[in-house]
Amino acid sequence: MSTTFTINGQPYTVNLTDLPPDITLNTFIREHAQLTATKFMCLEGGCGACVCAVSDGKSTWTVNSCLKLLNTCVQLEIITCEGLGNQISGYHPIQKRLAKMNGTQCGFCSPGFVMNMYGLMEQHGGRVTMEQVENSFGGNICRCTGYRPILDAMKSFAVDSTVAVSQESVDIEDLNLKARNCPRTGKACMGTCRQSKLIFEDGSQWCWPSTLAELFEALENVGNSDEFMLVGGNTAHGVYRRSPDIKHFIDVNGVEDLHRYSSDKESLTLGANLSLTETMEIIRSTSKQPGFEYLEVLWHHIDLIANVPVRNTGTLAGNICTKKEHPEFPSDIFISFEALNVKVIAMKAVDDEEEMTLEQFLGEQDRKMLVKAFILPSYPRDTYIYDSFKIMPRAQNAHAYVNAGFLLELDGNSKVKSARICFGGIRPDFIHATDIEQLMVGHSPYESDLVEQIFSKLEGLVKPDEVLPDASPAYRSKLACGLLYKFLLKHAPDAEVSGKFKSGGELLQRPLSSGLQLFTTQKQTYPVTQAVQKLEGMIQCSGEATYMNDVLTTSNSVYCAFVGATKVGATVDQIDASAALQYPGVVAFYTAKDIPGTNTFCEPSFGYEAEEIFCSGLVRHSEQPVGVIVALTADQAQRATKLVKISYSNPSSDFQLMPSLKDVFCSDTPDPSRIIPLVISKLKEVKFSDKPDLEVRGIFEMGLQYHFTMEPQTTIIIPFEDGLKVFSATQWIDQTQSVIAHALQMKAKDVQLEVRRLGGGYGCKISRGNQVACAAALAAHKLNRPVRFVQSLESMMDCNGKRWACRCEYQCHVKTSGRIVGLSNDFYEDAGWNANESPVQGHSTFTAANCYEFTDSNFKLSGHAVLTDAPSSTWCRAPGSVEGVAMMENIIEHVAFELQKDPAEVRLANISRKTKMATLLPEFLKTREYYSRRKEIEQFNANNRWKKRGLGLSLMDFPIIYIGQFPATVTIYHVDGSVVVTHGGIEMGQGMNTKIAQVAAYTLGIDLSYVKVESSTTINGANSMVTGYAIGSESVCYAVRKTCETLNARLKPVRKAKATWVETVEAANAQMINLIASDHYKTGDMQNYHVLGLALSELEMDVLTGNILIRRVDILEDAGESLSPWIDVGQVEGAFVMGLGYWLSELLVYEGDNGRLLTNRTWNYKPLGAKDIPIDFRVELVHNPRPSSAGFMGSKATGEPPCCLAVSVVFALQQALQSARQDAGLPREWLRLGAPTTPETLLLSAGHQVSEFKLK
- Asked if 688 and 609 count as a contact pair (C-beta separation under 8 A), the reply is no
User: Rounded to an integer, what distance in angstroms lies between the CA atom of residue 472 and that of residue 464?
Assistant: 8
Q: Confirm or deny that 144 is annotated as ligand binding.
A: yes
Q: Confirm or deny that 602 is annotated as ligand binding.
A: no
User: Rounded to an integer, what distance in angstroms lies between the CA atom of residue 845 and that of residue 808?
Assistant: 12
User: Rounded to an integer, what distance in angstroms lies between the CA atom of residue 862 and that of residue 381?
Assistant: 65
Catalytic residue among 1200, 1229, 1240, 1252: 1200
User: Rounded to an integer, what distance in angstroms lies between the CA atom of residue 792 and that of residue 888?
Assistant: 37
Specify the long-range contacts of residues 406-410, CB closer than 8 Å, at least 24 apart.
406/339, 406/484, 406/487, 407/339, 407/340, 407/341, 407/379, 408/384, 408/440, 408/445, 409/383, 409/384, 410/383, 410/384, 410/385
- The one-letter amino acid at 931: Y
Give 1113's contacts (C-beta < 8 A, 6+ positions apart).
1095, 1096, 1097, 1098, 1136, 1174, 1176, 1177, 1178, 1208
Region of 32 (left: φ > 0; alpha: ψ -120 to 50; beta: rest) is alpha
Residue 970 parent element (H or E): strand 965-972
- The one-letter amino acid at 868: T
User: Rounded to an integer, what distance in angstroms lies between the CA atom of residue 134 and that of residue 141?
Assistant: 13
- The one-letter amino acid at 149: P
In the sheet where 1089-1102 sits, what is the strand order?
A: 514-518, 1176-1182, 1108-1118, 1089-1102, 947-960
Nearest to 1034 by CA among 1130, 1134, 1139, 1127: 1127
Please give the C-alpha separations between residue 395 and each of 188, 949, 1109, 1171, in angstroms, as whole numbers. Answer: 38, 18, 9, 6
Sign of CA dihedral 300, 302, 305, 306: negative
354 a catalytic residue: no
Largest separation between any pair of C-alpha atoms in the chain: 102
* CA distance between the termini of the chain: 73
Taking residue 831's Cβ as centre, other Cβ atoms within 10 Å add up to 29
Q: Confirm or deny that 75 is annotated as ligand binding.
A: no
Q: What is the 3-state secondary structure (H, E, C) of 926-956?
A: HHCCHHHHHHHHHHHHHHCCCEEEEEEEEEE
User: Rounded to an integer, what distance in angstroms lies between the CA atom of residue 1218 and that of residue 777?
Assistant: 56
Q: Confirm or deny that 808 is annotated as ligand binding.
A: no
Q: Confirm or deny that 142 is annotated as ligand binding.
A: yes
Taking residue 568's Cβ as centre, other Cβ atoms within 10 Å add up to 24
- Asked if 889 and 910 count as a contact pair (C-beta separation under 8 A), the reply is no
Q: Confirm or deny that 390 is annotated as ligand binding.
A: yes
Please give the C-alpha separations between residue 325 and each of 320, 411, 686, in angstroms, as whole numbers. Answer: 9, 38, 62
Q: Confirm or deny that 50 is annotated as ligand binding.
A: yes
Please give the C-alpha separations between residue 867 and each of 653, 690, 701, 887, in angstroms, as whole numbers. Answer: 19, 36, 16, 21
In the DSSP assignment, the letter for residue 357 is: E
User: Rounded to an integer, what distance in angstroms lies between the CA atom of residue 4 and that of residue 398?
Assistant: 36
Q: Confirm or deny that 877 is annotated as ligand binding.
A: yes
- What percent of the residues of the chain are helix, what percent strand, and what percent coil, each to the nearest 5? 30, 25, 45
Q: Count of residues for the chain?
A: 1256
- Asked if 984 and 1026 count as a contact pair (C-beta separation under 8 A), the reply is no
CA Rg value for the chain: 31
Between helix 881-899 and helix 903-910 the angle, nearest 10°, is: 110
Q: Confirm or deny that 1204 is annotated as ligand binding.
A: no
Active site (catalytic) residues:
1200
Binding region for FAD: 390
Binding region: 42, 47, 50, 66, 106, 109, 142, 144, 390, 731, 877
Binding region for Mo-molybdopterin: 731, 877
Binding region for [2Fe-2S] cluster: 42, 47, 50, 66, 106, 109, 142, 144
